[in-house]
Structure 1
Amino acid sequence: MNTQEDAHRAAYLEEARDLLADLEASLLELERTPDDADLLHKIFRALHTIKGSGAMFGFDDIAAFTHDVESVFDRVRNGLLAVDGRLLDLSLRACDHIKSLLSPDEEDLAAREADGRDILEGFRAFGGEAAKGAPAAQAEPAPQTPAAEVMRIFRLRFRPQPGMLASGNNPLHLLEDVIALGDCRLYAHIDDVEPLDALDPEACLTWWDCVIRTTADAAALTDVFVFAEDDCDLSVEVLDDGCAVNGEQVHCRLGDILISRGDITPEDLAEALATQRRLGDILKDKGVVSNGQVASALSEQAAVRELAGKAHERSEKASSIRVAADKLDSLVDLVGELVIVQAQIKQAVEERGDPLLRSLAEHLERLGDSLRDSTLSIRMLPIGATFGKFRRLVRDLTAELGKEIELVTTGEETELDKTVIERLGDPLVHLLRNSIDHGIESPEAREAAGKPAAGVIRLGAAHAGGEVVITVADDGAGLDASAIRTRAEERGLIPPGLEMTEKELYNLIFLPGFSTAKSVTNISGRGVGMDVVKRAIETLRGVVEIDSEPGRGTVITVRLPLTLAIIDGLQVQVGAEYYVLPLAQVEECLEMARKPDDDGEAGMLNMRGEVVPCLRLRDLFAIEGTSPTIEPIVVVAVDGSRVGLAVDRVIGEHQTVIKSLGPLYRDIGEFSGATIRGDGRMALILDVSALVRRGESGGIRRVAAA
């Protein structure tokens, strides 16, 4: 296999996986709205594309299997089979099977083939493909509405006989009835109309070709002419049954149209094409077709392109291209280097004081900012694709646990950096599994508590300043603070009798090994879920918060930065060292007079009547020297609380390009990376959450509000 064929197969695999993701989402949506004809049409088109492209690129097993599934949905689309849970279960299994065929494992070949046969037998037993002896009547016929709503394109040729007017039929009235059925394009043939002095006023010598896009079927179009069928020649042909992606897939070449109409033969077409002239002119010169026939065919060609384009909403303005992720990563790295050089140029210009250079540096800074924003926006993806994958998870776990749960999603259009989205999937899976298993009660328990039998999990996303806020909320039993305290004391996670607020007790569920489950299941109970969530979120420089009301439900809030590549930071100095704090976590800056008897470990700051613990970075990092008499304090938000960080100097905002510290420093949790300042020196980026945890272990105690 040559390189070009490998590239084509790789492109097909990528496209097929995207189509399968859309197909699965459509199937889950169809479960909620089984009478939605557009969804049925979308499902059929996805299967049709997977099958056709698979056969083209040598995936014969995928093409054969998908053909059988497509046949079933063709019967559903035509109203011969009903949409119910059994059909959707089989269809989702079919999606999984096609995924396995896309990435075959030779060791599981026999099991995969057996699974495919089992799925097809299930479809046949259900009534698909009239299944080799299994009567289709096993399933109740579905309403005819979905089939009637499928958009099709027809060619209609209506040729009245000369005496039609004498019988009382008016061809214009018949054409008006056709136009009323859909979006119609007409072409009138007048070649047979005689000169005025020889014209018979009672003879109908005009005839029409029509292209119509409509939800009506061929029978409905034919019924328009039921009372005039003896006075005309009528033909109705399907040009697009709804599967074509654009107008080019419905034959749009002039020669094809003329052959399909019967105006010319294939031999006429081949002979004409051999002369390398415009086909219409050649055929007219040879006397094979008339001017009217060519004009009508050209009219149909334009109409089909227009109508098919409308049907499938394909536009050049909405075109896109695929770009490999590593190319985007490389581009962002280059933009990051440009930002660093830009900062160095700005500092050098400030030192020189040249007005011309300052003007050019400011212009470069504006262009650099625009380039940075544009580049980062390319990496931004809507989070809806990730949300869509969870519908299948909720559906499967709900069936396994015998619960009734509805997943409601909002904010699917919220955009987030692709790297963040990729690494966010596992934490969200853990949160949803906990809500399903621990949060939502059984239908019997919910009814006993006066709730609807079906629980609701709401998964939402929204922008809030320079970050994205993701919430997972359920209307289940909520958290039991006393049970959490008891289990934490049993496991030795907290000393007995320690005074803690409800919020602090709730946060104990994020500790490693903590679980209140009475038994271990294949879903949860081993205490390895929520601590993984917290670590994963903090790795993304995010925070996770939990709030609950017993009997009413639980809300878990995740706050994440928009991107992991370039952030806005606040640059501070301690001694001769420079550090950067993520600006999204900074609440305010103020000053505090250092007490002469300060022990150096920690202090308390009175902020407008609220007592806030304070850490001195000089002491935490063992930096030699003396703190200034008036210390700048940067107040940061961590886990819903505020902590002050004492520094020597606050330099100001800094556009921070994040650089990895490398494997040698992976165990130093207080730093999440480094950046390069304008003078070429390095500044460490502080992990505020880890920093506060270190300070707490060194003696900080939370103090209630004064």
Structure 2
Amino acid sequence: MSFEDEMKAALDTFVVESRELLQDMEDGLLGLEHDQNPEDSIGAIFRAAHTIKGSAGLFGLDHIVHFTHVVESLLDMLRNEEIPVSSALIAVLLPCRDHISSLVDGIAVGITEETAEQKNAGAILHEKLREFINGESADYSTEVVTHNEEQNAQASGGGVVDSGNWYLSLRFSKDCLRNGMDPLSFIRYLSTLGDVVNLMTITDGIPAIDDMDAETCYLGFEVVLKSSATKEAIENVFEFVREDSIIRIVPPRSKIDEYIDIINNLPNDDELLGEILIKSGVLTKHELDECLRLQHQRHRLQDGKTKEAPIGEILVKQEMLQEPILNAALQKQQQVKDTKAREKQNIRVDAERLDKLIDLVGELVIAGAGANLRANKSDDMALLEATSEVMRLVEEVRDSALQLRMVPIGTTFSRFQRVVRDVSIELGKDIVLEISGGDTEVDKSVVDKIGDPLMHLVRNSMDHGIESAAIRVARGKPAQGTLRLNAYHESGSIVIEVSDDGGGLNRDKILAKAIEKGLISSGTSLSDKEIYALIFEPGFSTADQVSNLSGRGVGMDVVKRNVTSLRGTIDIDSQIGVGATMRIRMPLTLAIIDGFLVGVGDSSFVIPLDNVIECLELPRTITENDYMDLRGEVLPFIRLRQLYDIRGEVPRRQNVVVVGYAGNKAGLVVDKLMGEFQTVIKPLGKLFQHLQGIGGSTILGSGEVALILSIASMMQQVTRRAQHKPAALQFKADTSKHI
């Protein structure tokens, strides 16, 4: 791979990781106002910005470093509780997050320099940020702090230190005077950095008068310096003597708990003990180098072998470090190692490669079914056992491969926090979003395609469903409206609910508008669910006026079309004055399912196994009715032979496969029950999309094509038929006369 290819791959990784961090940043900002203990969230937001800035610096993306540095400075003040969490602050930080996202998007398409438009947008945002940062100038031409400069500042204990009392312990080299250095000159120079509030001369090393050498330095000093200088600046005062002198500098407010807290809040980006101590401000680069020199000089015997003493042990013995701080740093070091170990267990896989794997597994399933079919015809027991074992392993491979594509839907849900916030402001409503079932897993292909339909439903609920605060209060409701997103598994499907506590759907208004538009004729008898379903018709809208969000009759028909394309259904529950729930049901996966194979005449059909409840024999006394008694319960059924006009002689014994969907039951009358079957779903072409009750096709082991039944569509047929024959489904008292 050439250097250009390697750089492009690295930039692609930067873009992917930055987008993930920006999503985390947005999630943290949206939850900050309502967080009772925001310290962890603030730390996570700060680390996200810091990581993006550092990574951008590695690639020389100075415009990202430039903008993010100011954001990071404000977040650092927030982290240090110098400014409080407020709606105004979040209202500034969210657009900053969006601006960083736009800069990263530019990198994704090869724009590595800041455009004039981006620069102007950044300048405006910087101006708003400066209002929070101690009233500093909003001049966008401030000095750019590059990643390397920041690293150097960190490596030397840099950063602004609050004015306070530094404690210095100085033991000059005996040859200091011979080398032309005056110890008192260093003390005088310290006064240029601050106020020397206390100075104590240490004379313990002065020998008797007869043994004294006039050119030898025997003095030491203990100094208390009040200064706002950095530790690096103070240490640099002694640059010419520090090699052979003992210089100890203890920062102001050097409480053990404070240092431990700083260490605990460091980002998990370095597992070297020395680097952790330097970044926390406990140690300077020079002190670490001195310690490393001592480490190589001093050895201890253990089991007859020489071994270097641990660096932490030397730091404590040299009184450069207190033991509790060392323990905190060691714990942080282990935490970083554990985190990186977990990260190494996860690898990024391109979605196209994963799809290719699923396709190959699907072909393997088909080939395995063919081999198993031929083994059954051979009567070779050894071959049958071998193919059965292969099929078992193929099933495990299939399950493992599909599991790779399963992701929690909570990631999609969390993105709507920002939508709800922004739309609430636009509508002038107070709306809060509640999320549940976020850990429910679904195929990634489903997650990618469900985002737009959910967006329409959420915006529609906020605009049409939830009333204004004044109306809600007048109706005895809380002024704040509630929008809920919920997900759960049900019979091999995922159910996603968008609920609100608004005014509900107006049945009469929907019906009147449908008649006005000619969608139905006057006098047509429809159930509530059928009337509610009219809002999904193209061009349908009950809005009295057009707004930026709705009223043009565009959107809800797109929702239904997209959900249907995912082999899903959508229905509505509503109650006037209480609220409404939009409920989407979709299959967990769009690739491979467990099926139940049945036969009707010469045709084969596959029923999704998750929908199959039981199988039973069709009573011979039933010849014309399309319902039967199932242990005292009315069970409507569909004869597949009649539905698909399948020719051939009807066998003497027919079977009923009882299926369930969305809490309803129905029966499918078939000729043969052929057992479970691993089903690779193949989409139907446009020519066959009009077929009722068909959700796809598959290839059998024999090479023949079998149609996959859509139980959701079958249930709709049963419901429509029941509405036209209401009396037929109301028998309860005496079913024997019908059977």
Which digits, 9 at most, give the CA deviation of each residue in 1:152-206, with x for residues without a partner? xxxx999999xxxxxxxxxxxxxxxxxxxxxxxxxxxxxxxxxxxxxxxxxxxxx
Q: CA deviation at 1:556?
A: 2.1
Q: CA deviation at 1:304?
A: 3.1
TM-score normalised to structure 2 length = 0.73
Match among 620, 625, 630 for residue 648 of structure 2: 625
Determine the C-alpha separation between the residues in 2 that align with 1:237 and 1:576.
76
Retained in 2: the 8 A contact 1:381–1:416? yes
Q: Which structure 2 residue ranges, 5 or more long, are not aligned? A: 140-165, 172-249, 301-306, 731-739
Which residue of 2 is the match for residue 128 of structure 1? 133
Q: 1:112 to 1:224 in 2, by over 3 A?
A: closer
Which residue of 2 is the match for residue 191 of structure 1? none
Which residue of 2 is the match for residue 653 of structure 1? 676
Determine the C-alpha separation between the residues in 2 that align with 1:258 and 1:628.
89
Retained in 1: the 8 A contact 2:49–2:68? yes
Q: CA deviation at 1:35?
A: 5.1
Which residue of 2 is the match for residue 460 of structure 1? 486
Q: CA deviation at 1:513?
A: 2.5
Q: CA deviation at 1:450?
A: 0.5
Determine the C-alpha separation between the residues in 1 that align with 2:337 and 2:704.
56
Determine the C-alpha separation between the residues in 1 that align with 2:257 and 2:575.
64
Q: CA deviation at 1:118?
A: 1.4
- Once the two structures are overlaid, the 10-residue window that deviates more, 304-313 or 377-386, is 304-313
Match among 307, 310, 332 for residue 335 of structure 2: 310
Retained in 2: the 8 A contact 1:254–1:297? no
Q: CA deviation at 1:15?
A: 0.6
Match among 384, 389, 401 for residue 415 of structure 2: 389
Q: CA deviation at 1:38?
A: 0.9
Determine the C-alpha separation between the residues in 2 that align with 1:86 and 1:312.
38
Retained in 2: the 8 A contact 1:246–1:305? no
Q: 1:223 to 1:587 in 2, by over 3 A?
A: closer
Retained in 2: the 8 A contact 1:548–1:554? yes
For 1:667-686, what aligned pairs fall within 5 Å after superposition?
Answer: 671-686=694-709
Which digits, 9 at most, give the CA deviation of each residue in 1:236-282, with x for residues without a partner? 899858343244266459999997363756xx98xx8xxxxxx9446
TM-score normalised to structure 1 length = 0.76
Which residue of 2 is the match for residue 63 of structure 1? 65
Which residue of 1 is the match for residue 432 of structure 2? 406
Q: 1:523 to 1:250 in 2, by over 3 A?
A: farther
SS for the counterpart of 2:647 is coil
Q: 1:500 to 1:238 in 2, by over 3 A?
A: closer
SS for the counterpart of 1:441 is coil
Retained in 1: the 8 A contact 2:491–2:611? no
Q: 1:438 to 1:610 in 2, by over 3 A?
A: farther
Which residue of 2 is the match for residue 119 of structure 1? 125
Q: 1:539 to 1:640 in 2, by over 3 A?
A: farther
Which residue of 2 is the match for residue 206 of structure 1? none
Match among 91, 95, 101 for residue 97 of structure 2: 95
Determine the C-alpha separation between the residues in 2 that align with 1:339 and 1:3.
37
Match among 513, 521, 525 for residue 487 of structure 1: 513
Retained in 2: the 8 A contact 1:620–1:695? no
For 1:71-86, what aligned pairs fall within 5 Å after superposition?
Answer: 71-86=73-88
Which residue of 2 is the match for residue 10 of structure 1? 12
SS for the counterpart of 2:358 is helix
Which digits, 9 at most, give the CA deviation of each residue in 1:472-526, with x for residues without a partner? 2211111222222212221222221222222232222233322222122221222
Sequence identity of aligned pairs in percent? 40
- Once the two structures are overlaid, the 10-residue window that deviates more, 622-631 or 459-468, is 622-631
Which residue of 1 is the match for residue 383 of structure 2? 357
Letter in 2 for 1:88: I
Q: 1:298 to 1:350 in 2, by over 3 A?
A: farther
Q: CA deviation at 1:532?
A: 2.1
Q: 1:264 to 1:358 in 2, by over 3 A?
A: closer
Letter in 2 for 1:123: L
Determine the C-alpha separation between the residues in 2 that align with 1:672 and 1:223.
66
Determine the C-alpha separation between the residues in 2 that align with 1:303 and 1:493.
71
Determine the C-alpha separation between the residues in 2 that align with 1:433 and 1:254.
50
Match among 583, 593, 597 for residue 571 of structure 1: 597
Which residue of 1 is the match for residue 626 of structure 2? 604
Q: CA deviation at 1:643?
A: 5.0
Determine the C-alpha separation between the residues in 1 that align with 2:127 and 2:725.
64
Retained in 2: the 8 A contact 1:512–1:527? yes
SS for the counterpart of 1:463 is strand
Determine the C-alpha separation between the residues in 1 that align with 2:478 and 2:337.
40
Retained in 1: the 8 A contact 2:466–2:481? yes
Which residue of 2 is the match for residue 296 of structure 1? 313
Determine the C-alpha separation between the residues in 1 that align with 2:696 and 2:704.
14
Q: 1:642 to 1:51 in 2, by over 3 A?
A: same
- Once the two structures are overlaid, the 10-residue window that deviates more, 337-346 or 241-250, is 241-250
SS for the counterpart of 1:406 is strand
Which digits, 9 at most, give the CA deviation of each residue in 1:117-151, with x for residues without a partner? 21111112x322642179xxxxxxxxxxxxxxxxx
Determine the C-alpha separation between the residues in 1 that align with 2:687 and 2:288.
78
Letter in 1 for 2:22: L
Q: CA deviation at 1:459?
A: 1.0
Largest Rg, 1 or 2: 2
Determine the C-alpha separation between the residues in 2 that align with 1:391 and 1:158.
51
Letter in 2 for 1:260: K
SS for the counterpart of 1:131 is coil
Which digits, 9 at most, give the CA deviation of each residue in 1:589-615, with x for residues without a partner? 4454689996xxxx6324457666654
Q: 1:630 to 1:505 in 2, by over 3 A?
A: farther
Determine the C-alpha separation between the residues in 1 that align with 2:652 and 2:315.
87
Q: CA deviation at 1:116?
A: 1.7
Q: 1:612 to 1:296 in 2, by over 3 A?
A: closer
For 1:151-190, what aligned pairs fall within 5 Å after superposition?
Answer: none
SS for the counterpart of 1:103 is helix
Q: CA deviation at 1:567?
A: 0.9
Retained in 1: the 8 A contact 2:491–2:661? no
Retained in 2: the 8 A contact 1:246–1:312? no
Q: CA deviation at 1:551?
A: 1.1
Determine the C-alpha separation between the residues in 2 that align with 1:68 and 1:320.
32
Q: 1:572 to 1:326 in 2, by over 3 A?
A: same
